[in-house]
Amino acid sequence: MYEQIAANKRRTALLVLGFVVLLVAVGAAINLLLAGGWIGFVVVVLIVAVSSFLSYRNSDRVALSLSRAVPADPVEYARFHNLVEGLCIASGMPKPRLFVVVDDAPNAFATGRDPKHAAIAVTTGLLTTMNRVELEGVLAHELSHIRNYDILVMTIAVTMVGITAVVSDMLLRFVFWGGRGRSDDGGGNNPLAAILAVFGLVLLVFAPIIATLMKYAVSRNREYLADASGVQMTRYPPGLIAALEKLRDDRTVVRTSSKATAHLWIEEPLEVDDERGPNRLNHMFATHPPIEDRIRALREM
């Protein structure tokens, strides 16, 4: 398991680098289509550097804000605080900030950039639906995401995918409205420039799709590892198994969830079909492995 965690950290670094490279490529395509030259490229690099830094520092706040999470009062949510404190003491982790999302659907997520700057948010539905051992299993799963550094790339993905999609959409609208900058002046006499411009345009079209696929690559395998790590933390597999079974059988939807933050939650928070589980489109691009497979894997431990 420790080898998996180490490999997970390496993949996290590569995925974060991949997001940065994609943003640079999108910026370079914009600069090419607007004929900005070397000065424009330097500006692009600076913008990407600043946006990447801000994403690194503030993505957790964005995720919590999008989910309408509020700080968990230590008195009102004493069981929540006590369970997290106990798990953190047992595993030698710093206690993350705790938040609550007022929603009847049982669910939870972790966010942040490292164990010292992390947060866990749970819905009020989770707190009322789960008994103590089940809630402990869910919280151990989320703490495992923090300890395994899954939260860094999962949280950054929220803003990086959004930035890529918005910038690409804005420039595509600009191009199709006829505003091509100086690239129209003599660009047709330079075949290489024309080819690069076409490549840049294609990149802008597909960049949001690439960024989204990178986001989907973040969560699936990490959920299995967080399940296993969480069980190792509580030393009681039946707790998390029972929690996952309740999540599987529940059909309520997290009202504040969206495709931007869906990969953060312990279980797919989007709309489900009563008979087929996640609807067909969501199943094709699901951010989580089937919950039955996760339960089966835990029972085999």
The whole-number mean pLDDT for each consecutive block of 10 residues of the chain, a chain of 301 residues, reads 64 74 75 70 76 76 91 97 96 96 95 91 97 97 91 74 66 57 48 58 65 62 88 94 95 82 83 49 62 92 79
Give the active site residues.
142
Q: How much is the pLDDT for 198?
A: 64
pTM of the shown model? 0.75
Q: CB count, 10 Å around CB of 148?
A: 21
Q: Which tokens in the block code for residue 236?
A: 């009681």
Orientation angle between helical segments 291-299 and 237-249, nearest 10 degrees: 160
Q: Which two tokens stand for residue 96?
A: 């993350």
Helix (H, G, I), strand (E, B) or coil at 71: strand
Residue with tokens 């079209």: 205
Domain ranges of the chain: 2-65+157-207, 66-151+217-299
| Predicted local confidence at residue 211, as pLDDT | 64
- Whole-angstrom distance, CA of residue 53 vs CA of residue 59: 10
Q: What pLDDT is stored for residue 281 in this prediction?
A: 47
**Domain 66-151+217-299 carries which CATH code?**
3.30.2010.10
Helix runs in the chain, H state only: 2-33, 37-66, 78-91, 124-129, 132-147, 150-176, 191-234, 237-249, 280-284, 291-299
For residue 81, CA distances in Å to 31, 84, 133, 215 come to 50, 5, 14, 30
